[in-house]
Structure 1
Amino acid sequence: MPTRSEAYKSLLQVEESSENGTLIPRALLILSSVWERSIKKNDKLVMMISSKNITVFHGSKAPKLSITRYMERILKYARCSSSCFVIAQIYIDRYFSKNGGYLTSFNAHRLLITSLLVAVKFLDDRYFSNAYYAQVGGISTQEMNRMELEFLFSLEFRLFVTTEMFVKYCEKLDKVDNIGEYQIRRPIIRSNAK
């Protein structure tokens, strides 16, 4: 079993995306695969979602761009660290743990761009404006600002992630990839993170 630092280093290794041959960090390939499976599974539940479960993160229709391509686009233009994607996943797990709901094709893209924006601002020394992230995400600046505020208030502005929690997520991603098939029976939204 790899050590903690080995798990993180292996997640930073660059690999070729199967969708378009782009070179991206392994962590993003794993995250996008897990997200794609979770979205596919949870989209079956969409019919059961009542209007009270609709949030600011739900679009009126599902984007045509796959979550994998969306992550690649964000990585290309946002130029943030790979660690931000792991932190964004932790934030999304916290969001669903606190608010309930499911990751679906109607909310995944908006949750990703919002959680990543928050993670970049918290983690990286340099980042672009909300208007820039909105353009990368294919939404208006007003929507980006509204979603950021909603997300921050939902998390009660608790953005700090311990080293142990970060490493735990890295190890979980590394384990998921090393299994060879993604054996997540419940949606990725489930977490113990508070």
Structure 2
Amino acid sequence: MNIRKMADSGNDFLAETDSPLGLGESGKPIPSSPRVLSILSSVFERSIQKNEKLLKKLKTKDNVTVFHGSRAPTMGIGQYIDRISKYTCCGTPCLVVAYIYIERYLQKMDAYLTSLNVHRLLITSIMVAAKFNDAGCHNNTFFARVGGVSTKEMNRMEIEFLSNLDFRLHVTADIFRAHCLQLQKEGFGENPINHRPSNKTRAKCLPQIAGYTCRAV
């Protein structure tokens, strides 16, 4: 089942456009909503704070992988997700699937999400989700530029990510819907958000990618 079909089954989670999971009436994907970006950013930030506090308490370090850097990137998680969404035009359904992939990866590897690996896990999972469900997806070089990594590193992360997921990228409608509801619940308690798209909502990708570096060393 592809993202579009799963999105049609996720009516419980509405994007700011009042359209099920960011899909317009025509069935064509539209840009992910600021509300979704905010919720995902908040979820990842809280998870990282909890994990890093636990690791510090246990006086241990997480296993280093190809997704780890020696220091946390200067760009915040929210800004990074917004950057990816802005340039790749990955909509809400793609971001939800990427979120599911990251959960699968962490569970399989018995790993922690931290400030040292979240950025590269994000760009990799979103790229994999987009490529698996969109025949017209951008290539690895494009995603590498957006993510601030080299194409060589992007290729390496993709292989590592897919291998650890055993190349199992299918997401059922039930699992998709469950995660949509989970994210929706995570959104409760946040500052009230206007459920209408702002004038700044992007309708198409920008032709030029602003420079950024998110190095792993």
Q: Same fold judged by TM-score > 0.5?
A: yes
Give distance in 2, aligned partners of 1:130 and 1:45: 34
1:163 is the counterpart of 2:173: yes
1:36 is the counterpart of 2:36: no
Give distance in 2, aligned partners of 1:134 and 1:5: 30
Q: Deviations over 1:123-149 (max 9, x none)?
A: 223211101101100010000000000
Distance 1:45 1:143, change over 3 A: farther
Question: Of the candidates 11, 26, 34, which is equivalent to residue 35 of structure 2?
Answer: 26
TM-score, reference length from structure 1: 0.80
Shift of 1:5: 4.2
Q: Deviations over 1:73-99 (max 9, x none)?
A: 000001112111100110011101111
Larger proportion of helix: 1
User: 5 Å matches for 1:67-106?
Assistant: 67-106=77-116
1:186: which partner in 2? none
Give distance in 1, aligned partners of 2:134 and 2:143: 14
Distance 1:136 1:46, change over 3 A: farther
Shift of 1:26: 1.9
User: In structure 1, the residue corresponding to 2:12 is in which secondary structure?
Assistant: helix
Give distance in 2, aligned partners of 1:160 and 1:118: 11
Question: Of the candidates 146, 149, 156, which is equivalent to residue 139 of structure 1?
Answer: 149
What is the one-letter code of the residue matched to 1:40?
A: Q
Distance 1:5 1:120, change over 3 A: closer
Give distance in 2, aligned partners of 1:138 and 1:45: 29
Contact 2:33 2:92 in 1 (8 A): no
Question: Of the candidates 122, 126, 143, which is equivalent to residue 116 of structure 1?
Answer: 126
Distance 1:37 1:28, change over 3 A: same
Contact 1:24 1:72 in 2 (8 A): no
User: In structure 2, the residue corresponding to 1:102 is in which secondary structure?
Assistant: coil
Distance 1:116 1:5, change over 3 A: closer
2:72: which partner in 1? 62
Q: How many residues align?
A: 167
User: In structure 1, the residue corresponding to 2:66 is in which secondary structure?
Assistant: coil
Give distance in 1, aligned partners of 2:143 and 2:180: 25
**Runs of 4+ in structure 1 over 6 Å off:** none
Long gaps (5+) in structure 2 = 1-8, 18-31, 191-217
Give distance in 2, aligned partners of 1:90 and 1:5: 14
1:13: which partner in 2? 16
What is the one-letter code of the residue matched to 2:52?
A: D
